Structure 1
Amino acid sequence: MASFRPTKIQVYPKLGEKVTQDTLYWKNYKAPVQIKEFGAITNIDFSPVAPHNFAVTAFTRVHVYGPFSQEPVKTFTRFKDTAYCGRFRSDGQLLVAGCEDSVVRLFDVGGKVALRMFRGHTKAVHVTDFTSDRYQILTGSDDYTCRLWDIPNATELNCYQEHTDYIRCGVASKLNRDLFITGSYDHTLKLFDARAEKSVMTMDHGHPVESLLLYPSEGLLVSAGGRYVTVWDLLKGGQPLASLKNHHKTVTCVCLSSNGERLMSASLDRHVKVYNTTNYKVVHNFDYAASILSLALAPDDESIVAGMTNGILSIKHRKSPEESKEISGQQRRRPSYRVFVKGKNYAPKQDDYLVSKPVRQHLAKYDKELKKFNVSKALDTAMESWTRLRKPEIPVAVIKELDRRGTLRNALAGRDEQSLSQLLNFLIGNVVDQRFAPVLVTATEIVLDIYQSIIGQSSVVDRQLLRLRELLEREIDYQQDLLEVLGMLDTMFASSLPRKQVPFTGISKPNGLAQADTGASGRQIQAS
């Protein structure tokens, strides 16, 4: 007896999935390395000098990791409370960090004890950064003030109190030592000049500001807060250039790729969006297991490091050229027992006898019902909620198999209101899909033919049948319009093609003379 042949599930291309250069570029990373920290990771900063170690600020510690190390190469623990915003100086020799106890600490990367301690703030310091001349530090605090400090003398140079709420982000200019920008929970961004007594520019983000980023040219500023990422043109007086709303929860941090052509934003919705900085369209998306608080890119985009609320540090390293050349989808086959016993190059001899072991066939639920000729139950099993919504190709394949067997009408008939409503919902959602239409149009015709007599007995089924009819009528109109457009295009293409021109001899003869000449020439050929 022949064995049962399982239903063949056709593989359809995913609609809307386009493989672009960005897709290939940003998917060219290895599986993430995950490291558990002691608390939520609030800041990640890469050293600007080789080997580009990165500082991770979490709970009461600042860990410094190497590019490929899974254990910290350096740890700073001289904090009495939660540490914030550990950042490297441009030469990679010093690191500064704020703290919940309002004290700002400056460390030598090669040592352990704090070189300087800056006291003056009265509440937690969430913002720290070095100015471009390397001799001053910018700080921002929950006491609504931002301050400039002199490193050699450990003294306060300037204090600005213009914000009316917590200052949670800030960035110092890398081109001008006197310029810096702060963002606050009072929804404003303020550009300060150390040579002036107050801010020189104010911008309203509209939401509490969580992160700031200056482009390398410093003509553009990016602010993140609420569900929005806003790009500001500083050369035009701080006018908004673009407002991006692609997250559905608060955006916590932004960063820029090494070439400045891609902008990345991370959010509490567990997603990282990659934007093209030319038109600010989303070109790629990353998913993470928990809400993201911090994000950083290594130089040349060699690594993507993300810190999450659950204390997990996720590190993705770029694949090497050799690993990138591996053919996708080609898996290594596990060597069989024969390979281990007799070697890979073993060849069977003429007298060898092959003992075959029957392979047990594992069938899906719908195939088991089809094997028992329970066609209605097979269709019901294929129309279960998860399968119907996540893998519509399975119900389509079962309907196609039932139609091939000639039992589709029997499987669709005799249904109660609930199962019929479920079936109509599936047809409404997929009958106009170009992948499934050849199969589902037949099923739709049979359903309408069988159940047209019960119209008026169930309001739910009536509404669904009406929606199905409207959907089909609209699709027919679309097809007619497309045929008209196709006919017009054919006419345009035909008229645009160059016509083949007959060469002009310049001599015209009457028909009789032409025939006579033809006859004469024919006689000459025959005579020759």
Structure 2
Amino acid sequence: NTPEPSEMDPYRKIRIERPVKTIKVTPEDRYWKNFKDEIVIPHAAKITNIDFCPLNPFDFAVTSSASLFIFDGASRQVRKTISRFSQVAYSGSFRCDGKLLAAGGESKIVQIFDAGSRAILRSFRKHTDAVHVTRFSSDITRLLSCSDDKSICYWDIPSEKCVSTMNSHSDFVRCAYENPSNPHLWFSGSYDHSVKLWDLRDPQKPVMSMEHLSPVEDILANPSSTLLFSCGDTEIRVWDLLMAGRQTHSFSNHRKTITSMTIDSKNSRLLSGSLDANVKVYDLSTFSVTHSKKYSAPILSISLSPNSQTLIVGMSDGTLNIRRRKVSEVVKSAPRKPALMGRRYFTRGANYRGNSDIDFKVPSISRRKLKPYDLDLKKFRYRDALDRVVLIQHQDISVIIAMLNELIERNGLIIALRSRNERALAPIINFLLRNISNPSYSALLIDVTWVVLDLYKSFIGESAVIDGLFAALLSRVQSELCFQKGLFELQGCLEMLFATNQSMNVSTINAIDSEDEEFSSAMRDEPQPEVLEKINGPTDPKRSSKIRSPEKRRKKSKTVPN
């Protein structure tokens, strides 16, 4: 009984309702998506290595082509560029104190640079092929380098000598990592599919060897030193070092070769970058992927800042992607503005200490205030500088002596003393007259006196004041010479007395020794009573028990004053 549709009714399509897909956003996704403050910096060649300075504000070094770029951690702009490489550079890395940088390269040379001045401090030449890995040890005086010549060298920086050489790998060595709990233990990974543990106190053979089954691109150890991560091809393998390097996990979530790994500051997340242009984040408790991010080109290097606030990715097309995490701030009610007058208004912000993650502190340059005589020396006014220290009342003599030494070092003593009139020369001679007999400064002041005499000997007789001062100076020197002569005579007398006393002591000791020997020989031969009477005097029964031994007689003789 349904009515048939008429020819005039329009056709209505069937409405198909599909269920709406709901994407669940996890706290992990929200955390990594907060890395929104993005800067993209193009380079002319591929980015082969990124390394953060461990110290705040966490500057980072980027290695690309034949240059090493040092970026400011706060502004994320290039602060310095090191271009002292003849060929392509590799593996620019900071020392733990941030003062030095090390880098290898195709030139087969390991170089150490001053991070401040960019000067080359050391150059190590032993490798015979390209050096792809340079790593500072935590004891700051050692450096490890790995090369395509299949060798690993351990260098002593102060002496510029190779302490140890390890040659157990059979292919290119492309990664190394120091054990976080022991600076003598190092891990190395090679294209011969092996990961080796070395004890540099006995580097003849590896302590432990693990097979990754593919060329090893990067290795990483957690700070507790119990787990080691190695990546090669599309797999990441986990090794338990407490179980003699036994493999505990293996996971593969990339479609192409994994080239780099890093770990966050809480040691709970592992990040990996791959040639498939993806960065994946793994939960180290379950080894499952918690977040993934797609980039524009194949990834060659990845690094996360020590405070886990900056993520940097280097790509094969030369793109450097820098992302900083935005910290969400709790919105509070605006405080009541202080009155325009009063103590609270003028002291507002006095207790603010800044936020190290957000604020950039401009270092203050403290300038020391120079003394007036230092300013004169700085402007090469040697005469004014000497007059200032000599003419000041109650001036410390050490300041005047330091000024004279400085003028001698600068070859300015003659300039400071010449062309003086009577009024300007008198204080100088007065100072020499007062202090030339001081044993602490006499050697220097005698030299200064000779300079004064050379300059003004032709003017003697023209000024009564200067002539009187020179006469007083001559009298002081002559009296000092007489005093020294008396001291030498007294010294000679004392030495003669000491020598006479010593000879008398020796003769007394020799006489006592000869008497002891005569007594001993007589006792050994069992002498008759007349012999004993000859030696010890008439025999008295009452005194027979009081015959002293040689030791007692020697002791008594030593108590008699000379």
Are 2:165 and 1:187 equivalent residues in the alignment? no
Q: SS state of the match for residue 50, structure 2? A: strand
1:115-514 equivalences under 5 Å are 115-196=121-202, 197-322=204-329
- Closer, same or farther in 2 for the Cα pair 1:115/1:323, shift >3 Å? farther
Q: SS state of the match for residue 32, structure 1? A: strand
Deviations 1:300-327 (A, max 9, x none): 21111000000000011111324999xx
1:88 Cα offset (Å): 0.7
- Closer, same or farther in 2 for the Cα pair 1:166/1:18, shift >3 Å? same
Deviations 1:268-298 (A, max 9, x none): 0010110000010001001100000000011
For residue 61 of structure 1, the aligned residue among 67, 78, 90 is 67
The residue that corresponds to 2:21 in the other structure is 14
For residue 29 of structure 2, the aligned residue among 19, 23, 26 is 23
Instruction: Check whether the contact 1:185–1:207 (CA below 8 A) recurs between aligned residues.
Output: yes
- Which of the two has higher C-alpha Rg? 2
Q: SS state of the match for residue 28, structure 2? A: helix
Are 2:77 and 1:71 equivalent residues in the alignment? yes
The residue that corresponds to 1:33 in the other structure is 39
Partner amino acid, structure 1, of 2:133: V
1:136 Cα offset (Å): 0.5
1:26 Cα offset (Å): 0.8
Are 2:130 and 1:106 equivalent residues in the alignment? no
Are 2:103 and 1:97 equivalent residues in the alignment? yes
1:177 Cα offset (Å): 1.9
Instruction: Check whether the contact 1:132–1:175 (CA below 8 A) recurs between aligned residues.
Output: no
Query: 2:220, 2:299 → 1: CA distance?
Result: 17
- Closer, same or farther in 2 for the Cα pair 1:9/1:294, shift >3 Å? farther
Query: 2:300, 2:216 → 1: CA distance?
Result: 14
Are 2:36 and 1:42 equivalent residues in the alignment? no
Instruction: Check whether the contact 1:138–1:172 (CA below 8 A) recurs between aligned residues.
Output: no
Structure 1 stretches of 4+ moved >6 Å = 7-11
Instruction: Check whether the contact 1:132–1:173 (CA below 8 A) recurs between aligned residues.
Output: no
1:45 Cα offset (Å): 0.6
Query: 1:142, 1:23 → 2: CA distance?
Result: 40
Deviations 1:483-520 (A, max 9, x none): xxxxxxxxxxxxxxxxxxxxxxxxxxxxxxxxxxxxxx
Structure 2 residue runs of 5 or longer lacking an equivalent are 1-13, 333-562
Query: 1:249, 1:235 → 2: CA distance?
Result: 31
Instruction: Check whether the contact 2:188–2:195 (CA below 8 A) recurs between aligned residues.
Output: yes
**Percent identical:** 43
Give RMSD over aligned pairs.
2.3
Instruction: Check whether the contact 1:59–1:82 (CA below 8 A) recurs between aligned residues.
Output: yes
The residue that corresponds to 1:470 in the other structure is none
- Closer, same or farther in 2 for the Cα pair 1:12/1:322, shift >3 Å? farther
TM-score by length of 1: 0.58
1:68 Cα offset (Å): 4.0
Structure 1 residue runs of 5 or longer lacking an equivalent are 1-6, 326-528
1:122 Cα offset (Å): 0.4
Total equivalences in the alignment:
320
The structure, 1 or 2, with the larger RCO (C-alpha pairs under 8 Å, 6+ apart) is 1
1:70 Cα offset (Å): 4.6
Partner amino acid, structure 2, of 1:65: F
Query: 2:195, 2:320 → 1: CA distance?
Result: 30
Query: 1:84, 1:123 → 2: CA distance?
Result: 13
Query: 2:53, 2:209 → 1: CA distance?
Result: 30
1:214 Cα offset (Å): 1.1
Instruction: Check whether the contact 1:44–1:86 (CA below 8 A) recurs between aligned residues.
Output: yes
Partner amino acid, structure 1, of 2:316: T
Partner amino acid, structure 2, of 1:262: R
Instruction: Check whether the contact 2:172–2:192 (CA below 8 A) recurs between aligned residues.
Output: yes
- Closer, same or farther in 2 for the Cα pair 1:119/1:31, shift >3 Å? same
Are 2:57 and 1:85 equivalent residues in the alignment? no
Query: 2:231, 2:269 → 1: CA distance?
Result: 16
Partner amino acid, structure 1, of 2:29: T
Query: 2:330, 2:52 → 1: CA distance?
Result: 25
Deviations 1:335-384 (A, max 9, x none): xxxxxxxxxxxxxxxxxxxxxxxxxxxxxxxxxxxxxxxxxxxxxxxxxx
Q: SS state of the match for residue 146, structure 2? A: strand
Q: SS state of the match for residue 101, structure 2? A: strand
Instruction: Check whether the contact 1:35–1:70 (CA below 8 A) recurs between aligned residues.
Output: no
Partner amino acid, structure 1, of 2:304: L
Query: 2:19, 2:307 → 1: CA distance?
Result: 37
1:173 Cα offset (Å): 2.2
Deviations 1:442-499 (A, max 9, x none): xxxxxxxxxxxxxxxxxxxxxxxxxxxxxxxxxxxxxxxxxxxxxxxxxxxxxxxxxx
Instruction: Check whether the contact 2:57–2:74 (CA below 8 A) recurs between aligned residues.
Output: no
Query: 1:241, 1:181 → 2: CA distance?
Result: 18
1:299 Cα offset (Å): 2.2
Q: SS state of the match for residue 98, structure 1? A: strand
Partner amino acid, structure 2, of 1:135: T
Query: 1:239, 1:218 → 2: CA distance?
Result: 14
The residue that corresponds to 2:456 in the other structure is none
1:131 Cα offset (Å): 1.3
